[in-house]
Every structure is written in structure tokens, then in C-alpha cells.
Amino acid sequence: MLGVNRGAFVTGDSRFYGKQHKPVQDRFWKFVEPEPNSGCWLWIGARQRYGSIKISPTRSGRAHRVSWELEYGSIPDGLSVLHRCDTPACVNPKHLRLGTQADNMREASERQRWSPVRPWRWGLTAQQRIEIRSRLRAERQKDLAAEYGVTPATVRTTVGTMRSIRKAVA
């Protein structure tokens, strides 16, 4: 995200921040809290799953990527910063490594953090999902959810995911 041509963001070039703003590396550390048991450095600043930090007046960057760049330098094109520890809030550079998005998806699948089709998370079998889909036009999601012992959100997710699967297969 910071990239080779954007090194000024890491050093806090005043063209982007002006004199009243501190460089990223100075602001970064006030949002890091070490977790003694795991060795993770947890991001306690802004988060949406992954930590986020302002790197220019109009752009934010993911905290783990900023951590990598502060420690090791720029991230080559086509590579992502992956977590060894499976903790999205971790910014410890020793827990991070470079890899492709394919590496990330493979590891996530191996560690059971992600699957292209996750019926185990829905609590429904493949046959039940097909039945729900066929009955949805005539019945309310709330009623189907009660019958199958799941939430209405599960019924919505099932239908939406089945549409996505059909599009991907077609």
C-alpha cells in the first residue's frame, strides 16, 4: 500500500502532512499493545478486522502492511503481507511474511479459517439449502428459519451464497 513511490508517507513528508502532523512511524507505535502470551503486537487503533492507520490526508493503510514496511521496506508488486499467527490485529513484523493471495487462501483453507463453500457454518446440509431455495418464493425467511432451526440471516446467506456459487460455476 505504501509502495516504492510512496515512501514519503512513511517518512511523513510535509508536502502531504504539513508541519502539524507526525510521520507515520511516530504515530504508529501509540496504537500497538504487546500481548505477552502469544507474542503478538495487537493493533488497538481503528479496525475493521485488520488495523487501519492514516498514511496521507486522504488515504488509510492496513496497519500490518505499514508495520512490514517500517521494518523491512517496500512490498513488491503482486505480494501480500500474510499473518503467521492468524490474528488479524497483529502487527508484529516477526509474525508477518510476504506471499501471494493464492498462498493466503490456501493457508486459510488448511487452517479452516475459510472455505469457498462453508455449509458447516450455516448449520444446514446441502439438501436443506436446496429445499429452502425452492420454497423461498412462497414462504417467509422467518418461517423457514424457525422450521430448520437457524436464523433468518442464515437463510439469507444460504440463498445469496447459492446465487454466487451458480454464477461461478456457469
For residue 19, the Cα-to-chain-centroid distance in whole angstroms is 33
pTM metric for this prediction: 0.58
31 in the same domain as 71 = yes
101 in the same domain as 31 = yes
139 in the same domain as 55 = no
* Predicted local distance difference test score (pLDDT) of residue 93: 95
Q: Which domain holds residue 160?
A: 119-169
69 in the same domain as 47 = yes
Other C-beta atoms lying within 10 Å of the C-beta of residue 124: 20
Distance CA 99, CA 106 (A): 11
75 in the same domain as 41 = yes
Cell output for 146: 424457525
Q: How many domains does the chain have?
A: 2
Of 110, 135, 155, which residue constitutes the final position of a domain? 110
77 in the same domain as 44 = yes
158 in the same domain as 78 = no
- Mean pLDDT in each 10-residue stretch from start to end of the chain (170 residues)? 42 49 82 90 87 84 92 93 90 95 85 60 74 86 86 77 48
Read off the CATH number of the domain in which 77 is found: 3.90.75
Alpha-carbon torsion, ordered 57, 63, 65, 71, to 10 deg: 100
71 in the same domain as 15 = yes
Alpha helices (H) along the chain: 7-11, 14-17, 24-28, 63-72, 101-110, 119-122, 126-135, 141-148, 152-169
Of 65, 82, 110, which residue constitutes the final position of a domain? 110
88 in the same domain as 123 = no
Other C-beta atoms lying within 10 Å of the C-beta of residue 69: 24
* Predicted local distance difference test score (pLDDT) of residue 81: 94
* Predicted local distance difference test score (pLDDT) of residue 15: 52
* Predicted local distance difference test score (pLDDT) of residue 21: 66
* Among the listed residues 37, 35, 31, the one whose alpha carbon sits nearest the alpha carbon of residue 60: 31
